[in-house]
Amino acid sequence: MNGPALAALFLIQAVAPAPVRVVFETELGAITVEVDVVRAPVTAANFLKYVEIQVIQFQSDAARSREEFPPIPLERTSVTGLRHTDGAVSMARDGPDTATSSFFIMIGDQPSLNFGGARNPDGQGFAVFGWVVGGMDVVKKIHASNTAATGDYGTETLDPVVKVLSAARK
């Protein structure tokens, strides 16, 4: 590699932010999420605020939630370029600009959750802000857990609930 190319490589590495990772310790094992603070900065910052105060909800019922911060603007996949692929982490929401602390993880590709997809009535999709880089086997164990009554959003709830023991930046 010649001098200018090597210098350019060092410059790129110098300005690229270090990956931000969060490890969730659950009753079934650890899940490591890499948060994309560059392409989804608003959603990433929101998620990390909740990690800091230990209020994280894997799509929980509204009655059990503790919203600490105001809702954030929707970072559409059409703008960020991030997609709902296997292992992607995305913020739950009702309408545009309503996401707070609930998120979900993709098992398999889910393009209908992207901007223009049919899975959200407004067609705006959901905001992807990271991906699972370790512990996808744990995600699949949680997904395969028993379910019970339908929750507030018409979704099934885990029975028993799989507890998140801790969430911390690494």
Distance CA 135, CA 4 (A): 40
Query: Domain of 132: which CATH number?
Result: 2.40.100.10
At 31 the three-state DSSP class reads strand
Domain of residue 114 covers: 18-169
Does residue 4 sit within a domain? no
Does residue 1 sit within a domain? no
Tell me the residue length of the chain: 170
Give the tens place of pLDDT for each residue, 37-90: 999 999 999 999 989 887 655 544 444 445 578 999 999 999 999 999 999 999
Distance CA 121, CA 96 (A): 11
Does residue 6 sit within a domain? no
CB 50 within 8 A of CB 83: no
Does residue 97 sit within a domain? yes
CB 105 within 8 A of CB 133: no
The number of folded domains in the chain is 1
